[in-house]
Structure 1
Amino acid sequence: MQTSSGSKLDFGRVALLLVLLGVGWYFWDSPAVWPLKLLVVMVHESGHALATLLAGGAVDRITLAANESGACLAHLPTGMMAQVAVYSAGYVGSALAGAFLLLATFRFRLRRLVLVAACLGLAVMGVLYAGDGFTLAFCMGTALVLGLAAKYLPDGGVDMLNLFLAAFTALYAAFELRSDLWNGATRSVSDASLLADLTPVPSWAWASLWSLVSLVLLGLFARWSLRAARPEGLGYSLTSGRR
């Protein structure tokens, strides 16, 4: 299969991504993926925090809960557009994280640097903004796991881990849309609800818009990242033909 630029997609990686999406979807409600859900929630809340700081606001604290909820408490910047950007940053922040994870790992061969950056980012966010002991413990514990993975996993293992994290991020966007549209309790306290209070646009439209943008971003970055190249990490490619 060729992209519009004429390069071929690596069928091995594409197939593996689809398998990982299926695995994540099937085990979504399993306790085994609970830490991954909390990780993506932390990325979501970090998106709010970074947008707040960039827009001139101030972050008070970030909290995570065992029920997979999270909150970023901050002094918002003035101006409606700045606040829309802050409220929207959670939706697209996790998608951008997954997209850049794919790009850095498979296009630029920065597989270990990606995990090191995630390790340091979690540790910094935990130390600076964790609002309780559970959030701090999760950030520091997950940072340790990612740091050890970056140091000790073989290249193929790092590629697999990064690909799975990117796949899980895509699933998070899809399931967040489902919750915001159909779960009344979730919808009433969601970012989409906050955006609806701030603008004339209803919450379902905001949820649909940002989930669509998130999935499109992930799709575009995945298409760019999974072009065929000499696979140094996963060690195989199912593409054929002359190079």
Structure 2
Amino acid sequence: MQTSSGAKLDFGRVALLLVFLGVGGFFWDSPALWPLKVLVVMIHESGHALATLLAGGAVDRITLAAHESGACLSRLPATHFAQVAVYSAGYVGSALAGAFLLLATFRFRLRRLVLVAASVGLAVMGVLYAGDGFTLAFCLGTALALGLAAKYLPDGGVDMVNLFLSAFTALYVAFDLRSALGHGAAAHSVSDASLLANLTPVPSWAWAAIWSFVSLALLGLFARWSLRAARPEGLGSSLLSGRR
């Protein structure tokens, strides 16, 4: 399998990515996937928080709920551009996280380092900004699980964890778009899209469609870069290889 530039894609990785997408989509409502949904919500809210800090604002707290919702309460700069950027950051934050996870794992062979970075980042966000006990417990517990996976799983296992997290991020973006378009602005009166609609002439469904398309395009582009076959002198392309 080749890209338009002639670079060969690793068929095993591409096939496994498609399997993960299919499994995640089929079992989307399974309780077994609940921790992953809450994790992506936390990544989403962290995107808002980081954008707030970059824009010169202040983050008061982040809260997660067991029913897979979340909120980032911040004090934003008064500028119109800063507010649009912060409200938009949640839509693309999780997509960028998944995209860089793919790139760091398969393009730069930083599989363990990127999982450790995710563990540390999640713990730091929880300690600094968790607004309640559930949010803090989830962040610290998930950070511990990711850290243990980075330390004890073989290389192939870490690759599969990272690939599944990236696939699940893409699914979450797609299902979020379906929810926004299927239920309309009335059912999402406090959604990011509705907040953006209040600031601009663009309706909430259009904002949801725009940022979901951009997010999925980013994930697709990074996947194309990341899932190329390794050169013979590299560290190997098999996801199922053992620890070296």
TM-score bracket relative to the smaller structure: over 0.9
The equivalent residue for 1:133 is 133
The equivalent residue for 2:189 is 188
Change (3 A) 1:15 1:233: closer
The equivalent residue for 2:61 is 61
How many Å apart are 1:39 and its aligned residue?
Answer: 0.3
How many Å apart are 1:189 and its aligned residue?
Answer: 1.9
- Tell me the distance in 1 between the aligned counterparts of 2:238 and 2:190: 42
The equivalent residue for 2:21 is 21
SS at match of 1:131: coil
Change (3 A) 1:154 1:65: same
- Tell me the distance in 1 between the aligned counterparts of 2:181 and 2:4: 35
How many Å apart are 1:7 and its aligned residue?
Answer: 1.1
Change (3 A) 1:119 1:137: same
Q: Superposition RMSD on alpha carbons, in Å?
A: 1.1
How many Å apart are 1:5 and its aligned residue?
Answer: 2.6
Contact 1:59–1:73 under 8 Å retained in 2: yes
Change (3 A) 1:183 1:17: same
Q: How many corresponding residue pairs?
A: 236
Contact 1:126–1:136 under 8 Å retained in 2: yes
TM-score (norm 1): 0.95
How many Å apart are 1:3 and its aligned residue?
Answer: 1.6
Stretches of structure 2 lacking an aligned partner (at least 5 in a row):
none
SS at match of 1:35: helix
Stretches of structure 1 lacking an aligned partner (at least 5 in a row):
237-243
The equivalent residue for 2:199 is 198
- Tell me the distance in 2 between the aligned counterparts of 1:235 and 1:178: 34
The equivalent residue for 1:207 is 208
How many Å apart are 1:183 and its aligned residue?
Answer: 2.1
AA paired with 1:193? S
Where in structure 2 are the equivalents of 1:156-167 lying within 5 Å?
Answer: 156-167=156-167
Q: State, as a whole percentage, how many aligned pairs show the same letter.
A: 84
User: Of 234, 239, 242, which aligns to 2:239?
Assistant: 234
- Tell me the distance in 2 between the aligned counterparts of 1:67 and 1:235: 35
TM-score (norm 2): 0.94
Kindly provide the CA deviation profile for residues 167-224 of structure 1, in whole angstroms up to 9, marking residues without a partner as x.
0000010011011111246422210000001111000110000000000000000000
Where in structure 2 are the equivalents of 1:1-243 lying within 5 Å?
Answer: 1-184=1-184, 186-230=187-231, 231-232=236-237, 234-235=239-240
SS at match of 2:190: coil
